[in-house]
Amino acid sequence: MNTTGAADPSPGAALGILKKVFGFDTFRLHQQQVISALLAGEDAFVLMPTGSGKSVCYQIPAMLRDGVGVVISPLIALMQNQVEALRENGVRAAFLNSSLAPEEARAVEARALAREIDLLYVAPERLVTESFQRLLERLPLALFAIDEAHCVSQWGHDFRPEYLQIASVTSRHPGVPRLALTATADGQTRADILQRLEMPGARCFVASFDRPNIIYRVREKHRDRAQLLAFIRSEHPGAAGIVYVRTRRRADDTAEWLQGQGVPALPYHAGLGADVRQRHQQRFLREEGTVMVATIAFGMGIDKPDVRFVAHLDLPGSLEAYYQETGRAGRDGRPADAWMVYSLGDVVAMRQLQARSEGDAAFQDTQRKKLEALLGYAETVACRRQVLLGYFGETAPGACGNCDNCLQPAATWDGTEAARKALSAVYRTGQRFGAGHLVDVLQGNATERIRQLGHHRLKTFGVGRELSRPEWTAVFRQLLATGLLSVDLGSLAGFRLTEASRAVLRGEQAVRLRKEPPRAAPAKKSRDAGAVEEELSLPEDRELWERLRELRLRLARESDRPPFTVFHDRTLKDMVRQRPRTREAFLRVSGVGETKADRYGEAFLAVIAETAGSGEDD
């Protein structure tokens, strides 16, 4: 019944097809091994990031082995694109899904029976039908490829019940090799995939998830738009980027606001008409320097190589989603930024969302763990790349030197006392208030509300005057993120103690907190301009600042690096303040070490000397 071909072709034939059909001279990592395994009739599991060439792993063996390669894929649009691309390369490929009329489907089946098809793409719903089963019985089969294999797992983020029936189909064809592929699977999902697809003996090929050219940064959110604008202006002026937000409304508003600030931004979300979405996507792909402000609806199948930054103005849904979304930056291998801001409010919203989610206990537990992982990533003071790769079950060789925590080690402080005060304030106010009220209690602000509630008579009233409101907010955010507090579902979003809080309250557990880097200029006049400019009020200061920035951008471009790796804004600001004239003076500027003084000193000193000279003439 199962035809595996008279003689399996040699692996050398695979290289011939790679060159002739796909136009590549060499295989990428793991491709050749996977192909060899399938040609030898073995099952295989492939975990590789998007864009690393997974599909060749089954396309080539399907063409080399006798019979039809059946590719199970859940995404109809992607299926059609892939088949079209294969046909362009002269490959005999077709698909069967709900977009075909019955007579079209019958024509495809007839071609398969006439052995005129090497690759047949099919949606999982169709795979499990009786009529498709009968077709499979009559076809010689080269292999089964199960794309987006994580859909079989309830641990994964994209569970599809039909995937659970795949194993019952493939088990009727023992001896036909199977390949499961995914770009997203943590350790648990991976084990689940192999079990549910009944492929315990599959050879596993796992490519590194590392994207070394992406710099990961996470900041505290306080004025998100102004922060975003300052980031775009100082580091990516004129570059293409994607800004992710959580709601359609925010996508529209943010895009419009950016346009008003001179940034060519467009919204993209499921609430826009198909024609508008199409138009915006085309502009993003074809024009230089367009910034797309999008909800998660944007990005699937987008392969623009020169996206220089992906910014998250809100927390993503999970670390998997974050990895996929940030992975759209820097496909060309050149430096790119993954930049995110988030706040206490975001943590509260995510905690509430998770608590409201429906499903059985196991599902709830998974969701909780996923949120924990996301918040852990956001709050970590360790190398972000290590945390991210660790989540995908990969051990990074060491700290990466290319994330914010590596570039500028985050300071921590002993927050045990502060945590105890905060938790105590939560407890004494009855575990029903949010951060705003609690900070008033801690700082001893005898507001009308505080007096009405009698909270000015509490023992904790005024015990926290040593910290500012933003500092207390950061304390509450971290307590909530690390599970030392939980949050109510009500509209008040009051904080509650957790099991873990008790040990801290009893003084049995120390708490280390992350020190937030100082905020750039406070929003006194709530002007939404780049914060740095606000501080440089003298025209000659502003002129020098602009010229130093130009120089930084030029040097950064020459060496193909992001500007802030030349010098940070605050270093440039310090140059404006100090106006060094000699190398010794230059070395006294904050953020200038020997190496950078050697590399850049001359150029910066020259600009400073010129600008100062013209200033004196005025």
Residues that bind Zn ion (CB under 5 A): 383, 385, 400, 403, 406
Q: Which CB, 27 or 209, lies closer to Zn ion?
A: 209
Lookup: tokens for 341: 């801001």
How many CB atoms are closer than 10 A to CB 220?
18
Nearest-approach distance from CB 477 to Zn ion, in angstroms: 22
Q: Which CB, 293 or 338, lies closer to Zn ion?
A: 338
- How many residues belong to the chain? 618
Nearest-approach distance from CB 384 to Zn ion, in angstroms: 5
User: DSSP letter at 413?
Assistant: E
Q: Which CB, 70 or 406, lies closer to Zn ion?
A: 406
How many CB atoms are closer than 10 A to CB 606?
11
Collapsing DSSP to helix, strand or coil, 233 comes out as helix
Nearest-approach distance from CB 339 to Zn ion, in angstroms: 15
Lookup: tokens for 422: 């905060």
- Say how far residue 45 (Cα) sits from the centre of its chain: 24
Nearest-approach distance from CB 389 to Zn ion, in angstroms: 10
Q: Which CB, 276 or 407, lies closer to Zn ion?
A: 407
Read off the amino acid at residue 539. P
Whether 530 contacts 234, CB under 8 Å: yes
Lookup: tokens for 559: 């060496």
Phi, psi of 178 (to 5 degrees): -120, 145
Read off the amino acid at residue 614. S
d(CA 70, CA 370): 33
Nearest-approach distance from CB 215 to Zn ion, in angstroms: 9
d(CA 181, CA 193): 10
Task: Count Cα atoms within 13 angstroms, Cβ side, for 84.
Answer: 6
Q: Which CB, 151 or 406, lies closer to Zn ion?
A: 406
Nearest-approach distance from CB 370 to Zn ion, in angstroms: 22
Nearest-approach distance from CB 218 to Zn ion, in angstroms: 12
Lookup: tokens for 552: 């930084």
Question: Which ranges in 448-538 belong to alpha helices (H)?
Answer: 448-453, 469-481, 499-505, 531-535
Lookup: tokens for 412: 């921590």
Q: Which CB, 385 or 596, lies closer to Zn ion?
A: 385
Q: Which CB, 123 or 383, lies closer to Zn ion?
A: 383
Lookup: tokens for 146: 């199960």
Nearest-approach distance from CB 511 to Zn ion, in angstroms: 24
Q: Which CB, 399 or 463, lies closer to Zn ion?
A: 399
